Structure 1
Amino acid sequence: MTTHALLLCLLTCLTLHALGSEIIKGQNVPEGMMGYMASVQENGRHKCGGFLINERFVLTAAHCHMPNLSVVLGTHNLRKVNNNTMRYDVKMCPHPLYRNNVSGGHDIMLLKLSRKARLGKTVQIIHLPNAKMKIKDKSKCRVAGWGYTTTGGNTSEQLKVVDVPIVSFKVCKEKWGDHLPANVICAGGYGTKKGFCQGDSGGPLVCGGKAVGVVSFNNGSDCSYPNVPNVYTKVSKYLAWIKKILKQNNC
């Protein structure tokens, strides 16, 4: 094989591999990493993401409030779920100001696990930001989930992650107008082909090792080429509410 032909083959193979490894333009999460990720499921089927913040609570989006919810921890591959050790029944604790409409804001919910999570190599917690944490515009953060890999596609059985840049609140407000609620942070989507999609709701936006946002909504289910930024609930705005529930271990 000539050098030119070898190079052409290499570039083609790399391109095909990249196209097959998306959250939206993302890649598979290696085992042993992001052990805080939770699959929030309705009747045993993945519906939303979430993340473990202590041994008894998972944080997710309030619009993931559904009947017969359970949480799966400790696996990146949803084909490999041991219901006896990985699945947890939950009590739902949506934010009291959420009104069944993401555009109204407060799209955040705590899920109390039926038993303590057993922390280890595959199950870990992620820390929340403090109220003073500042995140610079265009900072590279990451979002992960088992959601659609293309607009109108299917959920992924393998956990995927993608880097996304922070979009300034000013630009986000200009693009969304009156549809943008308060207490949000924007990243990905506008200005890039990377971001989240349906089924990723409730997952974390991770910056500097802290879960600073909760996946809330994008534009009309358009994941691949959105003309507005992806929107996340800003965790730091809800620390008092979160800490209150964690302290009383109930809601």
Structure 2
Amino acid sequence: MFPLRTLLFFVLSCSVQRALGGEIINGKEVPPKSLQYMVSVQNNGKHFCGGFLIRKDIVLTAAHCDIKTKTNVTVVLGTNDLRKIDERTMRYNVKKCKHADYKEPLNGSDIMMLKLSRPSKIKPIKLPIKLPNKKIKKNTTCLVAGWGKIKSQGPKVSKLYEVDVATIDRRKCQLEWAKVKKTLPANIICAGGYKTKKGACQGDSGGPLVCNKMAVGIVSFNLDNNCDYPNVPNVYTDIIKFLPWINYPKRKCNID
């Protein structure tokens, strides 16, 4: 038999893995032509992850979106409604660059770049320019957006939704996750899901956490496939921690 600690870790790890993603809970539909930097990452023409344009030919998303069963991966850029896609102008082939330290979301480094097959004419979202040792202040009101379910266990949607969430103190976030016997990695931001009925959940991993009109985080995970908030905080990859890797991809990836 497994030791109790080993069994508990296995159960909780599986719970978090099932909960990867970011459907928008208690949000609102994004107006047409808004948040144009948002990207739908697709397999065989079907949405499975979110992402966002950071340079004319580079998209950021979550590393756990690099699923081996997803073979024909493309991205769609320039529409809020996935039923309205101009295949000639909105769909791009990609090259993937996953962070070398990534193993699973619970270990951090849940970040990946996608190199577009051609430059986009859409304006990218800005990234922070602060040094990697800087932090986003707690209780900062931010925005998270994505395609996916708009309620727990509900159907997915074709239109882009957004919701405002507040960042949560890192130490408070860790204390809440410690109640379910999990230790969070250092390179994350917590926002939403805790003391609120708003947040991200399944369906749109890789979407951005936008604070002060900058993408500061990437939707990474929540707990136990449960979007009936409040519960423990949602977890995002902290982009500030990865600025050197983002700015100098040639050191790690062959995507140019």
**Residue deviations 1:41-60 (CA, integer Å, cap 9, x gap):** 11111101100001111000
Conserved? CA contact 1:147–1:196, under 8 Å? no
Conserved? CA contact 2:96–2:255, under 8 Å? no
Counterpart mapping for 1:127-166 below 5 A: 127-132=126-131, 134-166=135-167
**Residue deviations 1:42-87 (CA, integer Å, cap 9, x gap):** 1111101100001111000000013221100000000001111100
1:38 Cα offset (Å): 0.2
Per the alignment, in what secondary structure is the counterpart of residue 24 of structure 2? coil
1:134 Cα offset (Å): 4.3
- Rg comparison, structure with higher value: 1
Counterpart check, 1:102 vs 2:105 = yes
Residue in 1 that maps onto 2:216: 212
The one-letter code of the counterpart of 2:241 is K
Counterpart mapping for 1:1-251 below 5 A: 23-66=24-67, 67-99=71-103, 101-119=104-122, 124-132=123-131, 134-177=135-178, 178-245=182-249, 250=255
Tell me, which stretches of 5 or more residues in structure 2 are unaligned?
A: 1-22
**Residue deviations 1:101-160 (CA, integer Å, cap 9, x gap):** 1111100000001111123xxxx2101012345432111100000021111222210000
Conserved? CA contact 2:33–2:80, under 8 Å? no
Q: Report 1 or 2 for greater relative contact order, CA contacts < 8 Å, sequence distance ≥ 6.
A: 2
The one-letter code of the counterpart of 1:250 is I
TM-score normalised by the chain length of structure 1: 0.85
Tell me, which stretches of 5 or more residues in structure 1 are unaligned?
A: 1-21
Aligned alpha-carbon RMSD (Å): 1.7
The one-letter code of the counterpart of 2:139 is K
Per the alignment, in what secondary structure is the counterpart of residue 165 of structure 1? strand
Residues 246, 209 of structure 1: alpha-carbon distance in 2 compared, 3 angstrom cutoff:
farther
TM-score normalised by the chain length of structure 2: 0.84
The one-letter code of the counterpart of 2:106 is S
**Once superposed, which parts of structure 1, at least 4 consecutive aligned residues long, lie more than 3 Å away?**
246-249
